[in-house]
Amino acid sequence: MTDPIIAVDHVTRQVTDSTGTLTILHDIDFTLRPRESTAIVGASGSGKSTLLAIIAGLDLPTAGTVRLAGTDLFTLDEDARAALRARQLGFVFQSFQLLGHLSALENVMLPLELLGRNDARAKASEMLKRVGLGERLAHYPRTLSGGEQQRVALARAFVVEPAVLLADEPTGSLDFATGERVMELMFEMNRESGTTLVLVTHDSGIAGRCDRQLHIEAGRLVN
């Protein structure tokens, strides 16, 4: 049987302030196989985005751990986790997270350059053409529509050929029709690349297109 690409092992996340301790995630435990697409669904405030951040090693659990491709993320220091993310993970966010002072081409080149790739310009150009933005290479984010910005973000995420793509409400700031086109493109590119997709969404239609759904209620996995 194929080893899991992601193993979330009894993860709990708590925060403490002057009012006491709040448990955001309660003993979350699951594994994901390579090439599997999974939607993490739940109401606002249920802990979905916190779980995604812990899977990425961007937030630390209070208890438990996450293994990415067999590596325990939380035995690594911050620099080593960042290096692992650069090699293994792609990200797509609701707010695009493009760098405004960089062109579309430069935004997509950036993760390749950070990996020391000498083919960054050619690969980034090819990927932007793949998402239908071959005529927008020199455009800056402020001159692109929301849908175009999200396509740049998709190109940036897929250009490093990640083992895992993490997407946090990727259509949340787009109108319905534009969001539908972006999601169709994301699923199509995911099938082509064989990436494991982990998608946070409150949209049941989007979640239903994934191989699997994980439902979170008040920080607990309920299925």
- Residue range 118-127, pLDDT digits in tens: 999 999 999 9
Give the span between the Cα atoms of 197 and 92, in whole angstroms: 11
Which residues, at least 6 apart from 124, have a Cβ–Cβ distance to it below 8 Å?
105, 108, 109, 112, 155, 159
Give the span between the Cα atoms of 223 and 201, in whole angstroms: 16
Give the span between the Cα atoms of 32 and 105, in whole angstroms: 32
Element (H, E) at 165: strand 164-168
Between the CA of residue 220 and those of 7, 24, 26, 52, 75, what are the distances in Å? 17, 9, 5, 14, 25
Number of Cβ atoms within 10 Å of the Cβ of 162: 20
Residue 167, pLDDT > 90, answer yes
Q: pLDDT-derived band of residue 133, with 50, 70 and 90 as boundaries?
A: very high
Side-chain half-sphere of 71: how many Cα atoms within 13 Å? 16
Between the CA of residue 113 and those of 18, 43, 142, 163, what are the distances in Å? 44, 38, 23, 18
pLDDT of residue 1: 58
pLDDT of residue 179: 87
- Residue range 13-66, pLDDT digits in tens: 999 988 899 999 999 999 999 999 999 999 888 999 999 999 999 999 999 999
Structural domains in the chain?
6-221 (3.40.50.300)
Give, in degrees to the nearest 5, the angle at Cα 81 between 75 and 87: 130
Question: Percent helix, strand and coil across the chain, each rounded to 5?
Answer: 35, 30, 35
pLDDT of residue 148: 94
Q: Whole-prediction pTM value?
A: 0.88
Per the listing, tokens 């793509």 go with 165
